Amino acid sequence: MIYIFLAPGFEEIEAVVPRDVLKKANIDVATVSIGEKIVESTKGLKVISDMTINEVQIENVDGIILPGGMPGTSNLEKCEQLIEIIKTYAEKKLLIAAICAAPSILGKLGILSGKNACCFPDADIEKYLAGAKINSKDVNICENIITSKGPGTAFQFAFSIVEYIRGNEVRQKLSTGMQFSQ
């Protein structure tokens, strides 16, 4: 199971595209609100999450996805339960995927130190990628961490997660079927 954590002010495409692509790849995925079950995105889209963070069975999870957006990223970062989950996953070397501004959360926790990473290309966000080797790639896969730049890279991000979990053959078959080319 992969959990996509949602906080008020999340960026829609960064949550919905990975969910859709993972579902199409037959990967169990669920949306998790850090608060109320209905979560409003940065542009007013209201999503009914599959569960709240209090319902999460963290031992049954293979990985987590953190969409960006503002104030979504700030709201994720304020959630102490989520921060503990992130730390646990980092220690266990389980999948942590973050896009747009959300990699800043990982950077502030020291999880990106020495790793290739990217985030939304803005100095005010990049400054939080403490110790990371920031580069211009749209998506970076470094050990158990996947980072991506932002809304325009959501499909690349999602297909990279599929490849990480199910392998390149599944990624290629799915991307061909969805008419996605890189």
**Do the strands 145-148 and 95-99 form a parallel or antiparallel pair, or are they unpaired?**
parallel
Average pLDDT over residues 34-52: 97
In the chain, the largest separation of any two C-alpha atoms, in whole Å, equals: 40
107 and 125 Cβ atoms separated by less than 8 Å: no
Is the pLDDT at 182 greater than 80, yes or no?
no
pLDDT grade, residue 57 (50/70/90)?
confident
CATH number for domain 2-177, candidates 3.40.50.880, 1.20.1250.20, 2.40.50.140, 3.40.190.10: 3.40.50.880
Percent of the chain with pLDDT over 90: 92
Partners of 6 in beta bridges? 33
Is the pLDDT at 181 greater than 90, yes or no?
no
pTM for this prediction: 0.96
Torsion sign (Cα): 113, 107, 80, 54: negative
Average pLDDT over residues 63-79: 97
Separation CA 33–CA 13 (nearest Å): 16
Separation CA 30–CA 34 (nearest Å): 13
| Least confident residue range of 51-60, 63-72, 92-101 | 51-60
Q: Which two tokens stand for residue 6?
A: 């949602």
* Helix H or strand E segment including 61: none
List, by residue number, the catalytic residues.
100
77 and 34 Cβ atoms separated by less than 8 Å: no
99 and 14 Cβ atoms separated by less than 8 Å: yes
Average pLDDT over residues 104-111: 97
